[in-house]
Chains A and B, each alone.
Chain A
Amino acid sequence: MTELATPRVGTERLKRGFARMQQGGVIMDVTTAEQASIAEAAGAVAVMALERVPADIRAAGGVARMADPLKVREIMDRVSIPVMAKCRIGHTAEARILESMGVDMIDESEVLTPADPFHHVDKKLFQVPFVCGARDLGEALRRIAEGAAMIRTKGEAGTGNVVEAVRHLRQIQSQIDSLANMTPARLSEFARETRVPLELVEEVRTLKRLPVVNFAAGGIATPADAALCRLLGADGVFVGSGIFKAQNPAKVASAIVEASLHYTDAALLARVSSGLGEPMRGIEISTIPPGELLQVRE
């Protein structure tokens, strides 16, 4: 038998590939091992281990940090699906802690209080893949250039209001569409303006989409919300407060999983949306003081 080469780990292909396996799926925020089990049973493709869901972070105020490693560990020990966890923007030490624990993906998240006013984590230096939030194409490409293997819309987390996630999905897509008509000079201008390598902009123009998967996140509360985001081109969805702030989490969770798959089948959406009980109450965006918007954190 021929000698086998040495395996390579932590490559861009492996990081982006992990994210590709999540496509069509629903990633659910959980704060306990019990919730993680409910999410797994409902068909979640992964769970996001958190100290508090965004709605409670919003209500509590103060500084929101990485979850207690003990809690993350309990969740990892409970489910067989991938476990993700959040670190603060630019908090390389939190990211290293989560990586050392074997978390499957790190969300460098604006939902937590940013730790570095100048830089995001240098994600290329890590073996674990990262997902990052974005509101527009420039922001998405800056994160990808830093090494993000997956993008999600920022939306406005903890509101149960899908409008910002929709805004960010539409914004990214319309900017991708506009690249098609740009002259080479305009294209390099766009790259300069958005502080992104020109090759990355050219790649997106050719692909007509981001080179990594793009999920919807931030305000998705119902199966219909998930279907709307999928209709607008999201490769999958993150659901945060929407599940465990609902009256019947297990039922809402599995309904959102089914809606994310059969998002064009209105009859099915009607069936899975029926009798779910009270959803999370939700917040109108214009009532949030500008200083309390999470999405502006970059």
Chain B
Amino acid sequence: MSATVGVLALQGDVPEHRDLLVRVPGIGSVLEVRTPEHLERVGALFLPGGESTTVSRLLDEFQLREPLLRRLREGLPAFATCAGLITLAKEIEPSPHGRDPSPLGILDVRVRRNDYGRQVDSFELPLRFPGLGEAEFLAVFIRAPRILRTGPRVEVLATDGKSPVAVREGRIWGLTFHPELAGDIRLHRWFLESTGVLPSAPGVAGASPRAG
């Protein structure tokens, strides 16, 4: 049995997620999701990095907002990075200037966009995750949002020493960084195993604590 997973392909680093996912054992196909019909065919959805204001506008323009929200409420596992996390967040702290996207409000976090600074302040930081053992994971933060608050049902998987940078609430995961830019499949795989999209392989990521 092999799984079909999707990458929300409105704008952003879609190819990087796709190239990583095709390397995950057990993935049958990776579908670029642009329409409500595509959404019905996937067993998990990856929301890439990109510009959250652009993505928010395109969700409305192409009537994807309601179908996406419905699928997520039905329990579609979702893995959201950076702009993807902003798209799923419950609350966005208003930016001092410019427009803010309208989030879906499905992940109980409050975020502030670009809170680590502009592109010159973007950074890489090796992190440890409970589910990944001793080996570090290189987290790539690009104009990253900061998670300011997490709801009671949200589990923090990793922090930058101060703020959460990876969280999950049930089958929805949100990261402020870009695992797809590090060429490391372990977080994608751990997510797919812990949400039951892929069977857990003993001794690897899937042996971690179960999703809340």
Contact of A45 among B34, B50, B181 (CB under 8 A): B50
Instruction: Given A9-B123, A24-B14, A82-B119, decide whether A4 and B160 contact each other with a Cβ distance below 8 A.
Output: yes
Instruction: Given A23-B14, A25-B11, A102-B118, decide whether A18 and B54 contact each other with a Cβ distance below 8 A.
Output: no
A5 to chain B, nearest CB (A): 5
Closest residue of A by beta carbon distance from B116: A7
Instruction: Given A23-B13, A104-B143, A127-B120, decide whether A80 and B114 contact each other with a Cβ distance below 8 A.
Output: yes
B15 at the interface (CB under 8 A from A): yes
Which A residues touch B53, using CB under 8 A?
40, 43, 80-81
CA distance A153 to B54 in the complex (A): 23
Interface-centre pick from A5, A22, A24, A257 (highest chain B CB count, 10 A): A24
CA distance A204 to B17 in the complex (A): 20
CA distance A110 to B83 in the complex (A): 32
Closest residue of A by beta carbon distance from B139: A7
A285 at the interface (CB under 8 A from B): no
B14 to chain A, nearest CB (A): 7
Contact of B113 among A13, A41, A80, A127 (CB under 8 A): A80
Which B residues touch A8, using CB under 8 A?
123-125
The tally of residues in A whose CB lies under 8 Å from a CB in B reads: 44
Interface-centre pick from A2, A81, A129 (highest chain B CB count, 10 A): A81
Contact of A14 among B10, B34, B136, B140 (CB under 8 A): B140
Closest residue of A by beta carbon distance from B10: A261
Residues A4 and B124 in contact, CB atoms below 8 Å apart: no
Which B residues touch A137, using CB under 8 A?
none
Residues B119 and A24 in contact, CB atoms below 8 Å apart: no
Residues A80 and B49 in contact, CB atoms below 8 Å apart: no
B58 at the interface (CB under 8 A from A): yes
Residues A18 and B143 in contact, CB atoms below 8 Å apart: yes
Residues A9 and B50 in contact, CB atoms below 8 Å apart: no
Residues A21 and B83 in contact, CB atoms below 8 Å apart: yes
Which B residues touch A1, using CB under 8 A?
161
Which A residues, 1 to 47, have Cβ-Cβ distances below 8 Å to chain B?
1-2, 4-5, 7-11, 13-14, 17-18, 20-25, 37, 40-41, 43-46
CA distance A46 to B58 in the complex (A): 15
Residues A43 and B58 in contact, CB atoms below 8 Å apart: yes
Interface-centre pick from A2, A25, A80 (highest chain B CB count, 10 A): A80
Instruction: Given A43-B58, A45-B54, decide whether A21 and B123 contact each other with a Cβ distance below 8 A.
Output: no
Residues B50 and A21 in contact, CB atoms below 8 Å apart: yes
B70 at the interface (CB under 8 A from A): no
B9 at the interface (CB under 8 A from A): yes
CA distance A184 to B40 in the complex (A): 48
Residues A102 and B123 in contact, CB atoms below 8 Å apart: no
A32-72 to B contact mask, C-beta < 8 Å, 1/0: 00000100110111100000000000000000000000000
A262 at the interface (CB under 8 A from B): yes
A156 at the interface (CB under 8 A from B): no
Which B residues touch A37, using CB under 8 A?
98-99
A146 at the interface (CB under 8 A from B): no
Residues B16 and A20 in contact, CB atoms below 8 Å apart: yes
Which B residues, 62 to 95, have Cβ-Cβ distances below 8 Å to chain A?
62, 82-83, 95
New A-B contacts (10) at CB < 8 Å, excluding given A5-B125, A18-B122, A80-B100? A21-B143, A23-B13, A23-B15, A25-B54, A40-B99, A45-B54, A81-B98, A102-B120, A104-B143, A258-B58
Residues of A participating in the B interface, judged by any CB pair closer than 8 Å: 1-2, 4-5, 7-11, 13-14, 17-18, 20-25, 37, 40-41, 43-46, 77-82, 99, 102-105, 127-129, 257-258, 261-262
The 6 closest A-B pairs by CB, nearest first: A80-B98, A7-B123, A104-B119, A79-B98, A24-B11, A45-B51
